[in-house]
Every structure is written in C-alpha cells, then in structure tokens.
Amino acid sequence: MVLQSEKNTATFIHLSLLTKYFIPFGNYLFPIILWNLKKDKSEYIDHNAKQALNYQLSLLLYVVVLLMIAVPCILATVFNNIAFNTLITDHALNITRFDFSGNIGLITTGFVALFLIAMIKITEFFFIIYAAVKTSNLENFKYPLTIPFIK
C-alpha cells in the first residue's frame, strides 16, 4: 500500500527534472536529494527516483554522443569550404569560395544529429509530464530508451 505522501514525493521527483530550465543541474540535484531522503522508507519512491535519474543520465549520454558527431561534422565542412582570404571593404565582409557541394553527406550528418538532439529535448519535456501523471495515478512508469545505470 502506497501512502499519499509517498505518491506525492514520487510525483515531485519526476517533476523536479524540469528544474533544469531554472537551476543548472537541478534535474540531477533535486531527484538525488529527494531519493536519498526517502529511499529507505518507500520502495515506490526508490523505483521512481531511479527511473528519473536513469532517464536523465541516458539523455545526457545520448546528447553528448550526438554533439560529438554534429560539431566536428559541421566545423569540418565550414572550415574546408570557406576561404579565409576575405576581403573587407566598406565595412562589408566578402567571403569567396562558399561551396558545400563536396561535403553534402558530412553537413547532412551534422544537421541530422542536431535535429535528433532537438527531438530528444522536446520529447523529454513531454515524457517527464507523462511520468508524473502516471506516478500520481500509482502506475509504475518506465521511460523509453533508458539505460539502467542505477539499479
């Protein structure tokens, strides 16, 4: 039997992931603090806190890997195709040899990785809200594509 206070705490753990928009690393700090305060008292809170933290750690890993793909692809394409013998006249910057046709695959890979990062961030917001609603209804919610770092 799950108490009302346990249900509220578990729901708040999921909602505390949204603090990252206001406080840097709040999406890690607040769930860890709440989990450490209540993990021994309730299995329901323990399960939900682990789910929330594993989801955030998984997303961090996915975004870092995608950034490691996107940034070099885009920078390599830009630096290979823009000649730096620019001419500055009348406060205007003239760039010559602006041609990306030779690296279309590389630039596409970079922009697809950036698009995937954007989609991860958008779906993250909705999954957090959905998890909070499911948790408040006493349903166990498991975030999709989550790596179980904390067991």
- Band (pLDDT 50/70/90 cuts) for residue 106 is confident
CA distances from 51 to 16, 20, 120, 141, 144 (A): 13, 17, 17, 8, 10
* pLDDT for res 85: 55
Distance, first Cα to last Cα, the chain: 22
Lowest model confidence (mean pLDDT) among 1-5, 78-82, 114-118: 78-82
What percent of the chain clears pLDDT 90, i.e. is strictly above it?
62
Q: Encoding tokens for residue 105?
A: 């695959």
Chain mean pLDDT for the chain: 87
Of residues 151 and 87, the one with the higher pLDDT is 151
CA distances from 93 to 55, 85, 87, 114 (A): 46, 11, 6, 28
What's the maximum distance between 2 C-alpha atoms anywhere in the chain? 76
* Tens of pLDDT, residues 10-44: 999 999 999 999 999 989 999 999 999 988 888 99
Q: What is the pTM of this model?
A: 0.83
User: At residue 98, does pLDDT exceed 90?
Assistant: no
User: At residue 55, does pLDDT exceed 90?
Assistant: yes
* Tens of pLDDT, residues 66-92: 999 999 988 888 777 666 555 555 666
